[in-house]
Amino acid sequence: MASYNRVILLGNLTRDPEVRYLRSGKAVTDLGLAVSAKYRTQDGTQHEEVCFVTCVVYGKQAENCGKYLNRGRQVLVEGRLHYEQWEKDGQKRSTLKVVADRVQFLGIPGGEQAEDEVSTGAGGQAGATMREEAKAGQDPAEKSSDEAADSDDVPF
């Protein structure tokens, strides 16, 4: 029977990441992530359900999380589910965590974007050009099609 264990979460950090090191010297950090889902009940009332997820990050990525992330920061985490079991004081305990393969740093608290961030996701100059035009009062979408076609900033 085939299976697929892949998780993609977008949410805000609930606490500052704290980096620790394994005996092998490999960095590890746990990210507390709050993700939410909005829904309406039959009577039309809107509700928001928040889920708190622990994500484990290893290696250089864990060090970068500890260095650049803080509580409230929005991140996108891609990884896999990992089920842990242990016994404490005679009681069986368990938890479900996400082992992160990739952590993408997104907005900063307050909904603003960092200056080095690219809202298009394309990387490089495309996002910087759009920000500069927006600051200058020009709508980036108003560029002529010839100018856009000749640009080296094509996002693909």
pLDDT at 4 over 60: yes
pTM of the predicted protein model: 0.65
pLDDT at 65 over 70: yes
Mean pLDDT of 58-77: 95
Q: CA-to-CA distance for 65 and 102, rounded, in angstroms? A: 11
pLDDT band (50, 70, 90) for residue 142: very low
pLDDT at 69 over 70: yes
pLDDT band (50, 70, 90) for residue 134: very low
Which residues lie closer than 8 Å to 4 by C-beta, 6 or more apart?
A: none
Of 112, 145, 146, 117, residue with least CA distance to 130? 117
Quote the tokens at residue 97. Answer: 């965590």
Where are the chain's structural domains? Answer: 7-112, 118-151
Q: What tens digit of pLDDT does each residue of 26-53 get?
A: 999 999 999 999 999 999 999 999 999 9
pLDDT at 114 over 50: no
CA 6 to chain centre: 15
pLDDT at 13 over 80: yes
Who has greater pLDDT, 149 or 59?
59
Q: What is the pLDDT of residue 125?
A: 39
Homologous superfamily of 7-112 in CATH? Nucleic acid-binding proteins (2.40.50.140)
